[in-house]
């Protein structure tokens, strides 16, 4: 079979890359144990709407769990994490025989043997013989239901958990209406105005309400809590449904419908278009060598690395973008993105996106400033409204990282002024909007424990974020902000206790929090313990080495993290949270890769002149903790976070300090990887002699010139070229050990 490999490349034989993707990766998850907490997303890259089969109850965050035996709906979805649940959902469900509207009664048995789960196409055949197929577009979708003959065929539209309005138009084979549902992150006036268009006539219809179970045959219009509809078709029908939804208006839904799905378009055509989009995107990172299973893992991760943030803007008939703001609930011109928590994604997803999609990043960075104006605070954890959950003020990391990488679509002075406001005020929400105890932070130089929860984790991440602001000020020659933020970038040192050799909780009076236990989770830390958080000094690892005392002591401490005890104390959580369970199963000491705080740590050996130890550990992590199956992740995938870690690491690079222009070198998984950039240039990473044993870099060249550094720059990637490694089974302990080889740190070697 021939396949189009994307920008600037010709057709090459081989399987379509989208066929490597398993969208069931990570779906065997539950609240107390996560193999990813994903659902089988049916979507084009960075969509506004996605689709998924639904096994869980209406409103349950775990919408699809692999072990489930029945499906109760096919949803339009937007959710970026089960922990914040979904919003503006509605679902369709096919059935035969007697009409059953209730979600429990109608649920139908299925087997994974009769299921196909790809990004561009999902299909499942129930045990009762009904087949459902779904293919996506950016803001619409296409479903096809094939009913067995004999019994009456039904489609049930479920208005889900909130308010909804339904209007059936039998003459036009349409249902129109809106839904508003969701939780505490969903703005009160956010409606999804939808259009469902069917290609078969209705032989009967009516409305129902899922709160009461009331069914009204022959009724065409209903509004209320979970108002829905049902339609009957001829027995044995095949029914195609085109779905569209707008956050702006019913009129915009019509415009989008016309733009995205032609009147005579079949599901097979929608499927082919979506496959082409994914093959183009996946083909921009073409890997060679290794097993088919490794390619499946790589492309499944590359798929999930390219879903969030969701587009929140829509396109007028004249082609111009505009949106309903989830922040001020007004209509604005321009681009908007949401459904992302930056604590999860500043580390890997955005640094990967800066390589693959700089044009989109440019739009996104301006959208961040627009969102800040509309909200009064920078976005931090949005789904789609701002929430302030998790910690840090990481929007500045995105902005500085973009600027450092040449993305100049926004006003840096505005960005810095907004950031100064962010860190000198307390927001109405939690830890990642504004800065609680900011006065104490400026007076004491740390967030005092007990007055504020997760105080030491916050101090560490704030020091990094403030360095990002300082660095943006330096890059833009803004002396005022350089001076203001420059005083804050070493505050991480104020929570380092030399007596115990760890980052530690510190009380308002300057004393250390008593009874230090580096294995204790929570308290002054966030979803982790001191073993995991002590390394969160992204901008100044050399400064951290100085605190620890020496490179040897630093390396010994890292070694102990990976190979030492995996004991734990539940601490303030009071119970074993899923991140603890996942750490225990990973079998890598205190290295809890399933959660964010440690995800850069394997790369830190480079800063202490032991790059071969990084090379060993990153290959261990990739091989042991990832696969393409329903158990494919070692913890919450988190909006492309874990997937982007894998994609970057498999390429042999990782962004330890977003905001700098450097990617630190690890150990590539594949013998060859070619990245086709937006410009059409190609950056190729070769690893000659690579194998599961040959994980160690012997020598390296960049465009034919010897490269001894443990990092490469963004510009070197974006100019195209060849980074060539020779791999071996024995470490080369001479390479990457000079001062000039070390990656960026604020402090000198």
Instruction: Give 226 or 431: the residue with its C-beta nearer to Ca ion.
Output: 431
Cβ-Cβ contacts under 8 Å for 558 (sequence gap 6 or more): 601, 604, 605, 608, 613
Hey, how many other C-beta atoms are within 10 angstroms of the C-beta on 513? 18
In whole angstroms, the minimum distance from the beta carbon of 636 to Ca ion comes to: 4
In whole angstroms, the minimum distance from the beta carbon of 596 to Ca ion comes to: 5
Instruction: Give 636 or 686: the residue with its C-beta nearer to Ca ion.
Output: 636
Instruction: Give 4 or 33: the residue with its C-beta nearer to Ca ion.
Output: 33
**Helix or strand run (H / E) with residue 662:** strand 662-665
β-sheet bridge partners, residue 166: 177, 222
Instruction: Give 645 or 670: the residue with its C-beta nearer to Ca ion.
Output: 645
Instruction: Give 196 or 577: the residue with its C-beta nearer to Ca ion.
Output: 577
Instruction: Give 630 or 638: the residue with its C-beta nearer to Ca ion.
Output: 638
Instruction: Give 536 or 676: the residue with its C-beta nearer to Ca ion.
Output: 536
Site map 599..638 versus Ca ion, x via CB under 5 A: -------------------------------------x-x
Instruction: Give 3 or 389: the residue with its C-beta nearer to Ca ion.
Output: 389
Cβ-Cβ contacts under 8 Å for 556 (sequence gap 6 or more): none
In whole angstroms, the minimum distance from the beta carbon of 595 to Ca ion comes to: 4
Residues 395-454 interacting with Ca ion (rule: CB under 5 A): none
CA distance 316 to 410: 24
CA dihedral 255, 119, 100, 200 (to 10 degrees): 50
In whole angstroms, the minimum distance from the beta carbon of 599 to Ca ion comes to: 9
Site map 89..118 versus Ca ion, x via CB under 5 A: ------------------------------
Collect contacts of 546-553 with beta carbons under 8 A, ≥24 apart.
Answer: 546/747, 547/493, 547/496, 547/498, 548/501, 551/608, 551/609, 551/610
Whole-number Cα distances in Å, 50 to 80, 271, 311, 695: 11, 14, 11, 38
Burial (CB count within 10 angstroms: exposed 0-12, middle 13-18, buried 19+), residue 439: exposed
In whole angstroms, the minimum distance from the beta carbon of 662 to Ca ion comes to: 24
In whole angstroms, the minimum distance from the beta carbon of 591 to Ca ion comes to: 15
Crossing angle of the two packed helices 551-563 and 611-625, in degrees rounded to 10: 10
Q: Evaluate whether 558 touches 546 at the Cβ level (below 8 Å).
A: no
Place of tokens 């949401």: 338
Task: Supply angle C-alpha 374, 376, 381, rounded to 5.
Answer: 90
DSSP code for 628: S
Instruction: Give 45 or 641: the residue with its C-beta nearer to Ca ion.
Output: 641
> Which of 466, 713, 714 has the alpha carbon at shortest distance from 474?
466
β-sheet bridge partners, residue 688: 726
Instruction: Give 401 or 636: the residue with its C-beta nearer to Ca ion.
Output: 636
Crossing angle of the two packed helices 541-548 and 551-563, in degrees rounded to 10: 90
Instruction: Give 343 or 683: the residue with its C-beta nearer to Ca ion.
Output: 343
Residues 636-665 interacting with Ca ion (rule: CB under 5 A): 636, 638
Q: What are phi and psi of 506, to 5 degrees?
A: -130, 135
In whole angstroms, the minimum distance from the beta carbon of 643 to Ca ion comes to: 13
Q: Evaluate whether 607 touches 541 at the Cβ level (below 8 Å).
A: yes
Residues 572-601 interacting with Ca ion (rule: CB under 5 A): 595
In whole angstroms, the minimum distance from the beta carbon of 433 to Ca ion comes to: 19
In whole angstroms, the minimum distance from the beta carbon of 678 to Ca ion comes to: 29
Q: Beta 682-688 vs 721-728: how paired, if at all? A: parallel
Binding to Ca ion by residue 158, rule CB under 5 A?
no
In whole angstroms, the minimum distance from the beta carbon of 78 to Ca ion comes to: 19
In whole angstroms, the minimum distance from the beta carbon of 610 to Ca ion comes to: 28
In whole angstroms, the minimum distance from the beta carbon of 350 to Ca ion comes to: 16
In whole angstroms, the minimum distance from the beta carbon of 395 to Ca ion comes to: 18
CA-only gyration radius of the chain, Å: 26
Q: Evaluate whether 283 touches 676 at the Cβ level (below 8 Å).
A: yes
Please identify the residue of the shown chain whose CB is closest to the bound Ca ion: 636
Burial (CB count within 10 angstroms: exposed 0-12, middle 13-18, buried 19+), residue 102: middle
Instruction: Give 346 or 496: the residue with its C-beta nearer to Ca ion.
Output: 346
Place of tokens 């990976």: 562
Site map 705..744 versus Ca ion, x via CB under 5 A: ----------------------------------------
In whole angstroms, the minimum distance from the beta carbon of 638 to Ca ion comes to: 5
Number of residues interacting with Ca ion: please give it, by CB under 5 A. 3
**Helix or strand run (H / E) with residue 651:** helix 641-651
> Which of 172, 363, 138 has the alpha carbon at shortest distance from 260?
138
Instruction: Give 466 or 636: the residue with its C-beta nearer to Ca ion.
Output: 636
Instruction: Give 348 or 615: the residue with its C-beta nearer to Ca ion.
Output: 348
Burial (CB count within 10 angstroms: exposed 0-12, middle 13-18, buried 19+), residue 272: middle
Whether omega for the bond prior to residue 611 falls within 30 degrees of 0, making it cis, is no
Q: What tokens appear for 459 in the block?
A: 């101090």
Hey, how many other C-beta atoms are within 10 angstroms of the C-beta on 611? 31
In whole angstroms, the minimum distance from the beta carbon of 376 to Ca ion comes to: 27
Crossing angle of the two packed helices 479-486 and 455-475, in degrees rounded to 10: 160
Instruction: Give 595 or 655: the residue with its C-beta nearer to Ca ion.
Output: 595
Q: What tokens appear for 259 in the block?
A: 């733009």
Instruction: Give 596 or 606: the residue with its C-beta nearer to Ca ion.
Output: 596
In whole angstroms, the minimum distance from the beta carbon of 645 to Ca ion comes to: 11
Instruction: Give 461 or 638: the residue with its C-beta nearer to Ca ion.
Output: 638
In whole angstroms, the minimum distance from the beta carbon of 528 to Ca ion comes to: 10
Q: How many CA atoms lie within 13 A of 288 on its CB side?
A: 13
Whole-number Cα distances in Å, 729 to 175, 312, 698, 724, 726: 63, 48, 9, 17, 11
CA 194: distance to chain centroid? 26
β-sheet bridge partners, residue 68: none
Hey, how many other C-beta atoms are within 10 angstroms of the C-beta on 241? 24
Interaction site with Ca ion (CB under 5 A): 595, 636, 638
């Amino acid at each position: 079979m021939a396949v189009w490999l994307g920008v600037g490349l010709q057709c090459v034989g081989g399987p379509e890359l989208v066929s490597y993707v398993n969208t069931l990766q990570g779906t065997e998850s539950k609240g107390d144990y996560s193999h990813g907490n994903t659902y089988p997303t049916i979507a084009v890259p960075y969509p506004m709407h996605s689709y998924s089969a639904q096994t869980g109850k209406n409103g349950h965050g775990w919408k699809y769990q692999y072990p489930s035996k029945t499906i109760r709906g096919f949803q339009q979805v937007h959710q970026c994490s089960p922990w914040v649940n979904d919003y503006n959902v509605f679902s369709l469900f096919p059935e035969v025989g007697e009409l059953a509207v209730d979600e429990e009664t109608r649920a139908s048995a299925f087997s994974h043997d009769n299921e196909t789960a790809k990004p561009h196409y999902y299909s499942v055949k129930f045990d009762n013989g009904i087949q459902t197929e779904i293919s996506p577009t950016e803001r619409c979708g296409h479903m096809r239901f094939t009913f067995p003959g004999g019994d009456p065929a039904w489609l049930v539209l479920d208005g889900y958990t909130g308010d909804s309005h339904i209007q059936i138009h039998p003459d036009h084979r349409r249902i129109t209406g809106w839904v508003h549902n969701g939780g505490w992150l969903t703005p009160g006036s956010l409606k999804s105005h939808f259009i469902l268009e069917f290609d078969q006539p209705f032989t009967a219809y009516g409305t129902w309400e899922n709160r009461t179970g009331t069914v009204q045959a022959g009724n065409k219009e209903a509004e209320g809590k979970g108002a829905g509809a049902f339609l009957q078709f001829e027995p044995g029908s095949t029914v195609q449904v085109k779905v569209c939804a707008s956050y702006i208006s019913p009129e915009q839904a019509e415009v989008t419908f016309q733009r995205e799905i032609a009147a005579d378009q079949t599901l097979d055509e929608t499927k082919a278009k979506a496959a082409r989009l994914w093959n183009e995107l996946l083909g921009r990172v073409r890997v060679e060598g290794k097993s088919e299973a490794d390619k499946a893992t790589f492309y499944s991760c590359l798929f999930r690395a390219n879903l969030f943030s969701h587009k929140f803007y829509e396109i007028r008939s004249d082609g111009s973008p505009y949106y309903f703001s989830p922040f001020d609930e007004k209509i604005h011109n321009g681009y908007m993105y949401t459904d992302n928590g930056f604590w999860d994604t500043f580390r890997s997803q955005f640094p990967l996106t800066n390589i693959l999609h700089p044009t989109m990043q440019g739009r996104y960075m301006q959208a961040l400033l627009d969102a800040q104006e509309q909200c009064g605070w920078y976005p931090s954890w949005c789904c789609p409204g701002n929430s302030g959950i998790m910690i840090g003020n990481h929007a500045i990391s995105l902005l500085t990282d973009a600027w450092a990488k040449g993305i100049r679509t926004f006003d840096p002075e505005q960005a810095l002024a907004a950031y100064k406001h962010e860190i000198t005020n307390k927001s109405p929400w939690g830890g990642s909007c504004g800065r609680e105890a900011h006065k104490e932070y400026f007076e004491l130089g740390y967030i005092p424990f007990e007055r504020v929860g997760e105080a030491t984790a916050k101090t560490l991440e704030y020091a990094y974020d403030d360095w990002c602001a300082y660095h943006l000020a330096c890059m833009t020659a803004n002396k005022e902000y350089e001076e203001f933020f420059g005083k804050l970038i070493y505050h991480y040192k104020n929570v380092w206790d030399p007596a115990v050799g760890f980052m530690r909780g510190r009380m308002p009076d300057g004393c250390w929090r008593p009874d230090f236990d580096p294995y204790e989770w929570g308290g002054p830390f966030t979803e982790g313990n001191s073993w995991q958080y002590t390394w969160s000094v992204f901008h100044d690892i050399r400064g951290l080495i100085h605190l620890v005392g020496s490179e040897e002591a630093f390396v010994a401490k890292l070694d102990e993290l990976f190979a030492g005890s995996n004991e734990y104390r539940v601490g303030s959580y009071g119970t074993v949270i899923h991140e603890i369970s996942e750490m225990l199963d990973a079998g890598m000491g205190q290295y809890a890769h399933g959660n964010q705080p440690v995800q850069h740590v394997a790369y830190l050996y480079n800063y202490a002149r032991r790059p071969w130890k990084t090379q060993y550990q990153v290959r261990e992590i990739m091989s042991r903790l990832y696969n393409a199956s329903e158990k494919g992740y070692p913890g919450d995938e988190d909006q492309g976070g874990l997937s982007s870690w894998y994609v970057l690491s498999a390429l042999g690079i990782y962004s330890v300090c977003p905001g700098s222009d450097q990617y630190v070198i690890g150990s590539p998984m594949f013998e060859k990887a070619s990245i086709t950039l937006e410009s059409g240039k190609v950056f190729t990473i070769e690893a000659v002699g690579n194998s599961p044993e040959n994980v160690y870099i012997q020598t390296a060249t960049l465009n034919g010139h010897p490269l001894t550094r443990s990092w490469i720059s963004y510009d070197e990637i974006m100019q195209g070229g060849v980074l060539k490694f020779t791999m071996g089974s024995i470490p080369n302990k001479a390479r990457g050990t000079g001062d000039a080889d070390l990656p960026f740190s604020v402090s000198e070697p």
